[in-house]
């Protein structure tokens, strides 16, 4: 095994560019998945099967099919339908949509974990439905699910390299470009492998701190 430190230092500028893109994908993708997931979870509570059935079927479908193929779908099919977006936008929307089908289940579990008494109290106080949700149920439900949502942010971090397949230059994309230009595969790939371990470890530490503050 021959390890070349100068290849590492040559790669580092590209690495920081890639890291920035990865983090952008992660932040925007997480926000999309948090919001959309909540929307799906609330739609699933609508007392009409005309709403719950299609939402349930679509989210189940998205959750059980590969993100990679979904990204290809968005990247190649949307332009045919006249929707043009940059690869980055497409990728972020794709990953956010994919993970919203996971966060939806998290929200649902959180909502179901709110004690029945809270619902009854809201009814007894004659709160309108909107206020029951915004002032009573959601604040309690969301608090409980923050750690579980954080776990999905970590999984999403590990899925960001898939965006490389639709030409987004995140960490792995930068590494591949650099490897092919300089024929140095070992160093860039190992650097980003280590970077992923470090990032997910830091994220899990952060999450544990957040969990202590919010849940206990």
Partner 1 sequence: MTSGLWELVLQGVWVTIQLLVLSGLLATAVSFVVGVARTHRLWIVRFLAGLYTEVFRGTSALVMIFWVFFVLPPAFGWQLVPLWAGTLALGLTYGAYGAEIVRGALQAVNPAQREAGIALSFTPWQRMRLVLLPQAVPEMIPPFSNLLVELLKGTALVSIMGMGDLAFSGNLVRLALQESAEIYTYLLLIYFVIAFLLTRVMRGLESKLKAGVGKAPARRRDVKPKLPEATAVGGGVR
Would you tell me which residues interact with partner 1 (CB under 8 A)? 1-2, 61, 64-70, 72-73, 76-77, 80-81, 105-106, 108-110, 113, 115-118, 120-121, 140, 143-145, 147-148, 157-162, 164-165, 172, 175-176, 179, 185-186, 189-190, 192-193, 196-198, 200-201, 211, 215-216
The closest alpha carbon to 72, from 83, 58, 87, belongs to 87
Least spacing, CB of residue 32 vs partner 1, in Å: 19
Please state the closest distance from residue 63 (CB atom) to partner 1, in A: 8
Write down the least CB distance from residue 155 to partner 1, Å.
9
Per residue, the 3-state secondary structure of 91-156, as one string, reads: HHHHHHHHHHHHHHHHHHHHHHCCCHHHHHHHHHCCCCHHHHHHHHHHHHHHHHHHHHHHHHHHHH
> How far does Cα 108 stand from its chain's mean position?
17
User: Shortest approach of partner 1 to residue 156 CB, angstroms?
Assistant: 10
| Residue (24 or 118) nearer to partner 1, CB | 118
């Amino acid at each position: 095994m021959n390890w070349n430190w100068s290849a590492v230092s040559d790669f580092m500028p590209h690495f920081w560019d890639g890291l920035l893109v990865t983090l952008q994908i992660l932040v925007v993708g997480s926000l999309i998945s948090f919001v959309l997931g909540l929307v799906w979870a609330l739609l699933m509570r609508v007392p009409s099967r005309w709403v719950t059935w299609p939402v349930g079927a679509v989210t189940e479908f998205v959750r059980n099919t590969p993100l990679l193929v979904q990204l290809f779908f968005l990247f190649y099919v949307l332009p045919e339908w006249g929707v043009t977006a940059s690869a980055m936008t497409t990728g972020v929307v794709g990953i956010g949509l994919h993970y919203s089908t996971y966060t939806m289940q998290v929200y649902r579990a959180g909502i179901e974990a709110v004690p029945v008494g809270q619902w009854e109290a809201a009814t007894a106080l004659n709160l309108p439905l909107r206020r029951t949700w915004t002032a009573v149920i959601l604040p309690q439900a969301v608090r409980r699910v923050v750690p579980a949502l954080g776990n999905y942010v970590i999984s999403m971090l590990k899925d960001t390299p898939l965006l490389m397949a639709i030409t987004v230059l995140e960490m792995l994309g930068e590494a591949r470009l650099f490897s092919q230009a300089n024929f140095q595969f070992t160093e860039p790939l190992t650097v980003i492998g280590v970077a992923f371990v470090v990032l997910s470890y830091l994220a899990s530490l952060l999450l544990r701190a957040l969990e202590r503050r919010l849940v206990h």
